[in-house]
């Protein structure tokens, strides 16, 4: 039997011979995109000082290791970031400066490895935070890396574990134009 292009075939339909593989590849692409969206939402939560958005990225029993802290559970993560955002906005927290604005995290493409309803990812990039130390403008640039574990939940993919480390950090005087 010839196919639509006149080639000899096995007589199997496209769905029988390749449809399952096609569906599997589509599912993997959608899963990778959904996981990348979780990673972007995490970065957006930092930029917007939104601890609730941050917590929405994690399972109820997730583990986050970041900035010398180990947090367990989405609620603990939300409380920690509530305090962290508040302290960085008033100048008493990380960087010893009043954080005015953070840029979107400038990341490389994450390597996402799927395994059914779980996944792992590794990524790195630059975080840029601008603010004031006293009356002086300051920019802090950090080269960060992440080692992540994800799980598919009823409400989508979420972090089940996230490790955040830093390769290096540098500070620069700056003229802050954001309010």
Q: Tokens 């970041």 — which residue?
A: 66
pLDDT in tens, 18-32: 788 999 999 999 999
**Number of separate domains in the chain:** 1
Residue 80 belongs to some domain of the structure: yes
Joined together, the tokens standing for residue 175 give 């003229």
Radius of gyration of the chain (CA): 22
CATH of the domain at 25: 3.10.450.50
Taking the C-alpha atoms of residue 46 and residue 53, their distance in angstroms, rounded to an integer, is: 9
Q: Look at residue 9 and tell me whether its pLDDT is greater than 60.
A: no
Predicted TM-score (pTM) above 0.85:
no
Residue 166 belongs to some domain of the structure: yes
Residue 179 belongs to some domain of the structure: no
Tell which residue, 21, 18, 29, 20, has the closest CA to residue 114. 29
Q: Look at residue 36 and tell me whether its pLDDT is greater than 70.
A: yes
Helix (H) or strand (E) holding 37: helix 20-48
DSSP states along 56-109: TTEEEEEEEEETTEEEESHHHHHHHHHHHHHHHHHTSSGGGSEEEEEPPPEEPP
Strand-strand pairing, 136-153 and 111-115: unpaired
Q: Which position has the higher pLDDT, 4 or 41?
A: 41
Q: Would you place residue 109 in the very low, low, confident or very high pLDDT band (cuts 50, 70, 90)? A: confident
Residue 90: which domain range?
A: 15-173
Q: What is the pLDDT of residue 104?
A: 64
Residue 89 belongs to some domain of the structure: yes
Taking the C-alpha atoms of residue 47 and residue 82, their distance in angstroms, rounded to an integer, is: 13
Q: Which position has the higher pLDDT, 165 or 7?
A: 165
- 35: exposed, middle or buried (Cβ count in 10 Å: 0-12, 13-18, 19+): buried
Residue 8 belongs to some domain of the structure: no
Contact of 150 with 160, CB cutoff 8 Å: yes
């Amino acid at each position: 039997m010839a196919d639509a292009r006149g080639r000899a075939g096995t007589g199997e339909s496209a769905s029988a011979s390749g449809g399952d593989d096609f569906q599997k590849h589509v599912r993997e692409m959608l899963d990778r995109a959904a996981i990348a969206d979780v990673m972007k939402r995490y970065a957006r939560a930092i930029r917007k000082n939104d601890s609730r958005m941050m917590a929405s990225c994690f399972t109820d029993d997730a583990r986050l290791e970041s900035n010398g802290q180990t947090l367990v559970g989405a609620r603990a993560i939300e409380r920690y970031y509530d305090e962290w955002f508040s302290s960085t906005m008033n100048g008493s927290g990380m960087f010893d400066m009043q954080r005015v604005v953070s840029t979107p995290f400038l990341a490389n493409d994450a390597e996402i490895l799927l395994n059914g309803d779980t996944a792992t990812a590794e990524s790195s990039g630059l975080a840029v935070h601008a603010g004031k130390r006293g009356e002086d403008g300051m920019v802090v640039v950090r080269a960060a890396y992440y080692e992540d574990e994800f799980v598919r939940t009823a409400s989508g993919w979420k972090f089940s574990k996230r490790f955040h480390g830093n390769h290096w950090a540098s500070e620069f005087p700056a003229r802050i134009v954001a309010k």
